[in-house]
Amino acid sequence: MNSYGNNQNCAHQTLSKKGREMKSSIVIFDQFTDIDLFLMWDLLNRVRLPGWEVRILGERSQHISATGIAVPTHGLIDEANHSDVVLFVSGQGTRTKMKDQAWLSRFRLNPGKQMIGSICSGALLLAALGLLEGKTATTYPTTKQTLESLGVTVEEKAFVEHGNIATAGGCLAAQYLVGWVIEKKASAEWKQLILKSIKPVGEGLSFADAPDLGRLYAPILSAGR
Amino acid sequence: MNSYGNNQNCAHQTLSKKGREMKSSIVIFDQFTDIDLFLMWDLLNRVRLPGWEVRILGERSQHISATGIAVPTHGLIDEANHSDVVLFVSGQGTRTKMKDQAWLSRFRLNPGKQMIGSICSGALLLAALGLLEGKTATTYPTTKQTLESLGVTVEEKAFVEHGNIATAGGCLAAQYLVGWVIEKKASAEWKQLILKSIKPVGEGLSFADAPDLGRLYAPILSAGR
């Protein structure tokens, strides 16, 4: 029996495993890469489990993306310290934030308890926080040298995982990063369905998948209902 | 000699072809799918040509995405009528908008002069605007039946192009749609570089691509400078 109550008519239960009171935070700042936030954000929000929460965190009530879009935040970066998962986005803003000691000092992350990851140049922030010491990592091609200058051995891979710390390189590699989170915190089934749901039709997604996809748009049932 | 002035030091020129005074509009509404807006938006903004403009249009100063994010618009939907390219996003909101005659009547699009496209359920809006009459199209699996009910023959493909009208199905198929626009309105070189720029490292993107990628972050030079 799974942990999401005893309603036998709950279509979600076949996909449920974990996820109750599971909070993922995505950390943004000014001059972040739009797609790197929104690909992770959209995919993480496709998990339909009670207690599954995704938050966009920043220093202010909104941050301005690399293309000039004002994106509201749900909370302050300090919340990351109490999140189950903390993901750092990328963008030109990472070069400022990696040197911003006041900003960095607000993070007290614990890779013993939290899953921590980055997309593209977000790896610079993991390095600046001391989270990549003794570890290899990947990043975006244009930030490889900067990441190396911080003492990190950079691997030419889409995704590098070391226990609870993972880095992804290249915007679409966010699928690996988010898949890693969803598999660990929800289930392999949720991961598979969610990653399939964004494939091009005829290239991993078919019209016959419509009934399964419906699960991603179903209302979230409360725990125990 | 190309049309972007005579500054021989302009790194963009090797990629330039067209693009001067080229306006693309992306039409949004409440309950739109986040990633379908931001993947197109981010990619289209990577073209660094003078006069290349991308605008997010709606009925109001902001619209709320499917996940609850308030996204500001740059202008009203009527602007689409004077855009070179008009792209419709997807999401549950398309079911409301496809029946909203007041909204639909504000569009006076001309496929003889404009490139017009949709991602996923945005095809419902093209159909409601009469733009798919006598044409085949693709859409998201969960909206295939609704699109058929509007008299459209639906093809199980990632991308269906008929002259100046194109439909894409599955979020990541936005790459085909945006690639179609960028190739026609900028150049095949821009298309290739931009689509490569979001690939995962080791899967279409390599660290050796860093110098080329730099072109996507260079400032846009004014025409004639």
Of residues A52 and A14, more confidently modeled: A52
Secondary structure (3-state) at B173: helix
pLDDT average, residue stretch A168-196: 98
Considering only the beta carbons, identify the residue of B41, B92, B138 that sits closest to A67. Answer: B41
Q: Do B42 and A67 touch (CB under 8 A)?
A: yes
Nearest CA in chain B to A53: B67
Query: Are A144 and B207 a contacting pair at CB < 8 A?
Result: yes
* A218 confidence band (pLDDT: 50, 70, 90): confident
Mean pLDDT for A92-115 is 98
Q: What is the DSSP string of A182-212?
A: HHHHT-HHHHHHHHHHTSPBTTTB-GGGHHH
Query: Which chain A residue has its CA at the smallest distance from B198's CA?
Result: A171
pLDDT-derived band at A122 (thresholds 50, 70, 90) equals very high
pTM of the shown model: 0.90
Q: What does the angle CA B160 – CA B195 – CA B40 come to, to the nearest 5 degrees? A: 65
Mean pLDDT in chain B?
A: 91
As to burial, measured by CB atoms within 10 angstroms (0-12 exposed, 13-18 middle, 19+ buried), residue B172 is: buried
DSSP-assigned letters across all residues of B43-56: HHTT---TTEEEEE
How many CB atoms lie under 10 A from the CB of residue A208?
Answer: 10
Chain A residues in contact with B56 (beta carbon < 8 A): 69
Distance from CA of A165 to the nearest CA of B (A): 18
Residues 6+ apart with CB under 8 A from A216: A46, A48, A193, A194, A197
Least confident of B8-17, B61-70, B137-146: B8-17
Kindly determine whether residue A35 and residue B45, on different chains, have CB atoms separated by under 8 Å.
Answer: no
B5 vs B30 pLDDT, higher one = B30
Tell me which residue of A97, A101, A111 sits closest to A165, measured CA to CA.
Answer: A111
Compute how many other C-beta atoms are within 10 angstroms of the C-beta atom of residue B165: 19
d(CA B82, CA B61): 19
Q: Which amino acid is at A51?
A: G
- Segment (H or E) for A102: helix A101-104
Please compute the mean of the pLDDT values over residues A96-121 and round it to a whole number: 98
